[in-house]
Amino acid sequence: MQNQTQQKNSIPLWRDERVLNILGQAAFAAALILLALIIYQNMKAGLAKQGITISLDFLKGLSGFDISEFSFPYDRNSSYWQAYLVGLVNTLNVSILGVLFSTILGIILGVARLSTNFIINRLAAFYLELVRNLSLLVFLVFWYLGVFLKMPRVKDALLWPGDIILTNRGVGIPWGLPTASFPTFRLILLAGLLLALIVFFSLRAHGKRTGRPPLSLLWSLLAFLLIGAAGWLILPEAPLTLDLPFVKGLNLSGGKILSPEFMALTSGLVLYTSAFIGEVVRAGIQSVSKGQVEASRALGLNAFQTLRLIVFPQALRVIIPPLTSQYLNLIKNSSLAIAVGYPDVFYVSNTIQNQTGRAVEMISMVMATYLLFSLITSALMNWYNQRIKLVER
Amino acid sequence: MRKTLSILSVLVLFSLLLAACGGAQPAAPGETVTVKETVVVTVIAPAAPAVVAPAGYGVTLETVKTRGNLICGVNAQVPGFGYVAADGSFSGFDVDYCRALAAAIFGDPSKVEFRPVTAAERFTALQSGEIDILSRNTTWSLVRDTELGTNFVHTTFYDGQGMMVPTDSGITDLAGLEGGTVCVQTGTTTELNLADVMAANGISYTPAVFEDADKTFAAYAEGRCDAVTTDKSGLVSRRTVLADPAAHVILDVTMSKEPLGPAVRHGDDQWFDIAQWTVFAMFSGEEFGITSANVDDIKSSATAPEVKRLLGVEGDLGLKLGLTNDWAYNILKLVGNYAEVYNRNLGPDTPTYIPRGYNSLYVDGGLLYAPPFR
Amino acid sequence: MANLNSVLPPLTERSGPLRWMRKNLFGSWLDSLLTVLGALLVYWAVKGFLTWALTVAEWEVISANLRLILIGQYPIEQAWRLWTWLAILFFLAGNSIGIWARGSKYAFVVLFTPALLILLPFGSASRIWLAALTLTGLIGWGLGRARPHALKRSVIAGWVILLPVIILLTRGWSETEGSAVPIVTTNLWGGLLLTFLLTVVAILFSFPLGVLLALGRRSKLPIIRWSSVAYIELVRGVPLITILFMAQLMLPLFLPEGVAIDRVVRAMVGMTLFSAAYLAENVRGGLQAIPRGQYEAAHALGLSGAQTMTLIVLPQALRLVIPILVGQFIAVFKDTSLVAIVGLFDLLGIAKTVLAQPAFLGLQREVYVFISLIYWVLSYGMSYLSQRLEERLGAGGR
């Protein structure tokens, strides 16, 4: 670049690279803006012909339709905006549970894939190949119509140990009902959480000082559980009573009833995503060279310590980036809820768009919502990635 | 120099994006440009010149005639009204109306291209000119007639929303559904009516909402819901194909009026007239006893002036619509009158039998009544 | 396994079924428990599936609708056009195998697949065509083997013009009635045919777009870099289904009055724009892996920036990411099923219409199992073959 600066005077303007760069970019930007303007004009003209203007005011209108599952009060007299929020919360529910369970199942699968047990190893390999080559949408539709709807009817409900009831009207699981002392208990739990954090950080600081990393996570968890248990026993009345599901007429009652749509979507996403996470975990563990394990054994660390202190921290660095994209995929794939009839944000917005004809507004809103989810997830995972990267020296 | 390359490449990229949004396929630089051109020519060409914007008297007929066929938006999932047979052809009541319209315009019922549209996209498809007419069991309502930019031609099928329950559930009226679950399809007036009626009667229930008819009825058949609701015609035709039709009963309640019929877009009155009088020609054909079997005899021997005008023997009614004078003759000869179309798709000999009820001629106590042909 | 030698056996592990089982199945009590549980699971799953598939399932729905599932409403008397381009495809595939992967037995399997498919309930005409496919494939293979160097260029040229040929043959070109190749409009394309065309078009067009976006993202020019980043991140941040909805519902509004795009083409545009963003990120990974020395060496040799990119950097980068790209292509193939939600008759969409036929209501399991099988076999086959070919050709490694 240096010699070019010196030659600048001898180069005519139209061949000067810097001028060309600026001009080129200006032209590109201008073209981009022009394109946006053309699209906007066309859209406005097209909508004006139908007497529609772009605005979000319609969200205040009465929705007029019912939604099967909602986490806060909602009925047909609620506004479109509230309907949208219902869908949003449902998407969050599925995403959070999906991420949690697919991580657990994915780790199990990844470890099983490396097991020395022939049957377990082959089973895991078969499962991974089976699921990874299916089309998720076809799988979900089959999973809902072919499995969850084919469960026994309520009158022949299948009872599983642990008071779980399986029917094609949904899955009933025991659930805690809050009592009068629940608010106090919540405060106690908060105190327990604080203590757990203190334990965690002081143990870690201690570990850094002495060079012997303690099981900080385990101890802080114990501290939390201890406070929780103590609170439960001290309070005059148990903060939660166990509510068991039971069959009432043609429906399920009591406990927590998970609809077949919710179950099919969440479990389908978990089964699908965990196969990909399993591969990520396997690759991560295999990326740690054998010498590391042998060296750590030679230093006298036992198998558990080797896994915890040597293999896992190194594998994690390889695992986190692809794991992040799997999480993002799961969140985005939850939009396939429309295929099984679960009212997530995309499905609800689709209904709203049907009733109001506001395609432009609704699709933009849904896109913005998913974009926000993706950005938040990426930000969290990147932050975590940065943290574990610090371990590297 | 790399910068210049980047500028160049991104400019190409930009033009590709522009091309993509402007209707063409994005293409590769260099060799694959040939690919691009071929695709544009082969794939876009049929659609691009064919569809001329909505609006304007006579534009649609002109477009359809130039194109050489009619594009009709239909349903592909309702047995009896519109579905795809195993040989790939479309069948059904709504589908036959499209054939009648094609017969009126071209004298050839096969000159129609069926475009299956989902409940969600049907009005957009009509507005954007992608289809010439929507014949997809669509309910006539004020909002759709105004805000959604459509004009409903005429009711071809009088329907009402009903509710079906398993016989052994013992439910006899809507109140019996208290606390129950109801299967319903989204994107329809049905979904709104259900909420309205249940709220008005103070019945609390849970909806289970699905995006297509197949899943809605599959879920009901498996016992996912206590009841399923849709137009009564749909309930009847779907009940006949359940595992044990006798084990399901349609409640004696009508939750709403559902006048179903074809729709065209705002702005072309001539097209609206053609579509509407096609319906009336089919009504009148039944009224005058003209069928596809006897239409030739009647045409040669008719004495009643209105029949003569209808069949184009006398007067120039067809020309007033912008068509040929034998337009109604073609409909009746090539597709049949209303009763023939009805019996072919929904008659007693079909698996989707629905009694005619309101869909009888006014002389038989029904609602079908055509204005005079003069 | 009696040891007849008086010499001490070598210190290797002896292999025998019992010893193998001991080592691999019953190493510890936990291992044994897992083995038993695993075996039970396998037994239960296999038995359950076979009982259903052989006794309960009603497979007539598949045999009666095989044509719809494979080609949708494409007119049967025009099916020879599809067979023709399939034959060209197989000829080229055989040719390529003969030239580049002579010894690979896996690639051979591909050529014999059509011959095996004869066992399915096809009509006699289709069976003849299927046999012809294998035959043309074998002829191509023989030719490629015999004269690899002479044919190399023409085979590459053949692949390049294959897509236009496929599209042209599928669609036809003659407007006049009664001609040999009348136009078959896109709304009649369906089933596996539509899935295949959607996939191929999306992959081929998203490739150059993705490479340009990857280059744009690495550009030093801020406006271009930020536009590329914005595009890539925006598309990767939203679900495919929203993009398809936008292509179906909003795109018509963006166009000037009087211009309309065919809805199959709209779905293709949506898939392409979506896939390009993911492809761009994969290619960027490859670009980042090219050491600086390569650029410097190219510069020292006097190559210009464009030459460096097209002759030195891109070939290496693309070669590096071939395995990832194959995975991406398989993902596109699986994702095409989403067009069923916007009402197209791809494999999944046609499955829905089959289920609406009065004769076959309620047979969801049979239809969806069959559709899943098609997706599975094709995507597993693609990934398996590509892995084998990568090993042979040494792609992906450096």
- Residue B70's beta-bridge partner residues? B112
Same domain (yes/no): C255, C347: yes
Element holding C139 (H helix, E strand) = helix C124-146
Is the Cβ pair A21, C221 closer than 8 Å?
yes
In sequence order, the 6+-apart residues with CB closer than 8 A to the CB of C240 are A332, C270, C271, C274, C335, C338
Element holding C300 (H helix, E strand) = helix C292-300
In sequence order, the 6+-apart residues with CB closer than 8 A to the CB of C33 are none
- For residue C5, being part of any structural domain is answered with no
Beta strand B206-210 pairing with B181-185: parallel
Same domain (yes/no): C204, C345: yes
Contacts B215 to A, Cβ<8 Å:
145, 341
Residue B154 has pLDDT above 90, yes or no: yes
pLDDT range class, residue A88, cuts 50, 70, 90: very high
Is the Cβ pair A28, C337 closer than 8 Å?
no
Backbone phi, psi, residue B308, to 5°: -65, -40
Is the Cβ pair B224, A339 closer than 8 Å?
no
Tokens 């399991």, located at residue: C365
Is the Cβ pair B179, A251 closer than 8 Å?
yes
The CA distance from A54 to A50, in Å, is: 12
In sequence order, the 6+-apart residues with CB closer than 8 A to the CB of C2 are none
The CA distance from A349 to B206, in Å, is: 19
Is the Cβ pair A67, B209 closer than 8 Å?
yes
What average pLDDT score do residues A155-167 get?
82
Give the number of other CB atoms < 10 A from CB of residue C373: 13
Contacts C171 to B, Cβ<8 Å:
42-43
pLDDT score recorded for residue A213: 67
What average pLDDT score do residues C58-82 get?
86
Best C31, C347, C376, C379 member to test A by mutation, with max A CBs in 10 Å, is C376
Q: How far is A28 from chain B (nearest CA, A)?
A: 6
- Among chain A residues, the shortest Cα distance to C28 is held by A117
Token representation of residue A106? 């994915």
Is the Cβ pair C173, B42 closer than 8 Å?
yes
The CA distance from C26 to C105, in Å, is: 36
C130 closest CA partner among C198, C82, C170: C82
Q: Which of C130, C159, C183 is the last residue of a domain?
A: C183
Q: Are C305 and C382 in contact (CB under 8 A)?
A: no
Task: Tell me the pLDDT tens digit for each residue of A209-219.
Answer: 877 767 777 88
Same domain (yes/no): C104, C118: yes
Q: Does A153 touch chain B (CB under 8 A)?
A: yes
Q: Are B56 and B267 in contact (CB under 8 A)?
A: yes
Q: Does A379 touch chain C (CB under 8 A)?
A: no
What average pLDDT score do residues B354-369 get?
91
pLDDT score recorded for residue C284: 87
Is the Cβ pair B7, C204 closer than 8 Å?
no
B5 closest CA partner among A3, C212, A23: C212
pLDDT range class, residue C7, cuts 50, 70, 90: low
Is the Cβ pair A169, B224 closer than 8 Å?
yes
Q: Are B134 and B150 in contact (CB under 8 A)?
A: yes
Q: How far is B173 from chain C (nearest CA, A)?
A: 27
Same domain (yes/no): C210, C333: yes
What average pLDDT score do residues C339-360 get?
85
Query: Closest to A351 (Cβ–Cβ): which among B21, B186, B206?
Result: B186
Residue C2 has pLDDT above 60, yes or no: no
- For residue C324, being part of any structural domain is answered with yes
What is the count of residue pairs from B and C with beta carbons less than 8 Å apart? 218
Contacts C246 to A, Cβ<8 Å:
363, 367
What average pLDDT score do residues C233-252 get?
89
Residue C8 has pLDDT above 70, yes or no: no
Is the Cβ pair C237, A374 closer than 8 Å?
yes
Task: Tell me the pLDDT tens digit for each residue of C117-172.
Answer: 887 777 788 888 888 888 888 888 888 888 878 888 888 888 888 888 888 888 88
Token representation of residue A32? 């981009």
A388 closest CA partner among A302, A327, A324: A324
Token representation of residue B365? 């106590």
Same domain (yes/no): C79, C149: yes
Same domain (yes/no): C154, C225: no
pLDDT score recorded for residue A389: 67
pLDDT score recorded for residue B1: 41
- Residue B265's beta-bridge partner residues? B150
- For domain A80-117+260-389, give the CATH superfamily: MetI-like (1.10.3720.10)
Q: Are B155 and B260 in contact (CB under 8 A)?
A: yes
Same domain (yes/no): C275, C376: yes
What average pLDDT score do residues B312-326 get?
90
Q: Which long-range contacts (CB under 8 A, 24 or more apart) does A387-393 make?
A: A388/A313, A388/A316, A388/A317, A388/A320, A389/A317, A391/A313, A391/A317, A392/A317
Same domain (yes/no): C237, C148: no
Q: Does B9 touch chain C (CB under 8 A)?
A: yes
pLDDT range class, residue B4, cuts 50, 70, 90: very low
What average pLDDT score do residues C328-341 get?
91
Q: Does B300 touch chain C (CB under 8 A)?
A: no
Cα dist from B20 to B103, B369, C271, whole Å: 37, 50, 12
Alpha-carbon dihedral A219, A224, A225, A231, rounded to 10 degrees: 150
Domains in chain B: ranges and CATH: 2-47 (no CATH), 59-156+261-364 (3.40.190.10), 160-254 (3.40.190.10)
Best A63, A66, A171, A258 member to test B by mutation, with max B CBs in 10 Å, is A66
Q: Which of C183, C207, C223 is the last residue of a domain?
A: C183
The CA distance from A47 to A43, in Å, is: 6
- For residue C13, being part of any structural domain is answered with no
Q: How far is B145 from chain C (nearest CA, A)?
A: 20
Same domain (yes/no): C119, C207: no
Question: What integer best gives the mean pLDDT of chain C?
Answer: 83
Q: Give how many domains chain C has, as a whole number.
A: 2
Question: Which is more confident, C30 or C80?
Answer: C80
Buried b (16+ CB within 10 A) or exposed e, B211-246: bbbbbbbbbbbbbbbbbbbbbbbbbbbbbbbbeeee
Cα dist from A310 to A204, A293, A307, whole Å: 17, 7, 6
The CA distance from C169 to C166, in Å, is: 5
Q: Are C323 and B206 in contact (CB under 8 A)?
A: no
The CA distance from B159 to C370, in Å, is: 37
Is the Cβ pair B38, C167 closer than 8 Å?
yes
Is the Cβ pair C201, B39 closer than 8 Å?
yes
In sequence order, the 6+-apart residues with CB closer than 8 A to the CB of A178 are A239, A240
- Residue B361's beta-bridge partner residues? B368
Q: How many CA atoms lie within 13 A of A163 on its CB side?
A: 15
Residue A74 has pLDDT above 60, yes or no: yes
Is the Cβ pair A66, B194 closer than 8 Å?
yes
Is the Cβ pair A367, C242 closer than 8 Å?
yes
- For residue C165, being part of any structural domain is answered with yes
- For residue C15, being part of any structural domain is answered with no
pLDDT range class, residue A70, cuts 50, 70, 90: confident
- For residue C37, being part of any structural domain is answered with no
pLDDT score recorded for residue B13: 42
Q: How far is B209 from chain A (nearest CA, A)?
A: 6
CATH of the domain at C332: 1.10.3720.10
Element holding C324 (H helix, E strand) = helix C322-335
Q: Does A385 touch chain B (CB under 8 A)?
A: no
C378: domain range? Answer: 188-391
Residue A82 has pLDDT above 60, yes or no: yes
Is the Cβ pair C348, A137 closer than 8 Å?
yes
The CA distance from B89 to B83, in Å, is: 8
Task: Tell me the pLDDT tens digit for each residue of A226-246.
Answer: 888 888 888 877 777 888 888
Touching subunits of B (3+ CB pairs, under 8 Å) are: A, C
List the domain boundaries for chain A: 2-49, 80-117+260-389
> What is the Rg, in whole angstroms, of the alpha carbon atoms belonging to chain A?
28
Alpha-carbon C129 to chain mean position? 22
Task: Tell me the pLDDT tens digit for each residue of B31-88.
Answer: 333 332 233 323 333 333 333 344 578 888 998 999 888 999 998 878 888 888 878 7
pLDDT score recorded for residue C258: 66
CA B337, B342, B345, B349 dihedral sign is negative
Touching subunits of C (3+ CB pairs, under 8 Å) are: A, B
Residue A272 has pLDDT above 90, yes or no: yes
Q: Which of C156, C183, C210 is the last residue of a domain?
A: C183
Q: Are A364 and A108 in contact (CB under 8 A)?
A: no
Same domain (yes/no): C113, C212: no
In DSSP notation, B4-34 reads: HHHHHHHHHHHHHHHHHHTTSPP--SGGGHH
Give the number of other CB atoms < 10 A from CB of residue C284: 22
What percent of chain A shows pLDDT beyond 90?
28
Is the Cβ pair C245, A363 closer than 8 Å?
yes
Question: What integer best gives the mean pLDDT of chain B?
Answer: 81
Residue B336 has pLDDT above 50, yes or no: yes
Same domain (yes/no): C202, C350: yes
Task: Tell me the pLDDT tens digit for each residue of B228-245.
Answer: 999 888 888 788 778 788
Q: How many CA atoms lie within 13 A of A207 on its CB side?
A: 14
* Residue count of chain A: 393
- For residue C241, being part of any structural domain is answered with yes
Token representation of residue B275? 């579509």
Binning chain C into helix, strand and coil, the percentages to the nearest 5 are 75, 0, 20
Give the number of other CB atoms < 10 A from CB of residue C293: 9
Tokens 């039970």, located at residue: C40
What is the count of residue pairs from A and C with beta carbons less than 8 Å apart? 148
Residue A342 has pLDDT above 90, yes or no: yes
- For residue C26, being part of any structural domain is answered with no
Q: Does B217 touch chain A (CB under 8 A)?
A: no
Could you give the angle at the alpha carbon of A8 between the alpha carbons of A6 and A11, nearest 5°? 135
Question: What integer best gives the mean pLDDT of chain A?
Answer: 85
pTM of the entire predicted model: 0.82
Backbone phi, psi, residue A159, to 5°: -105, 130
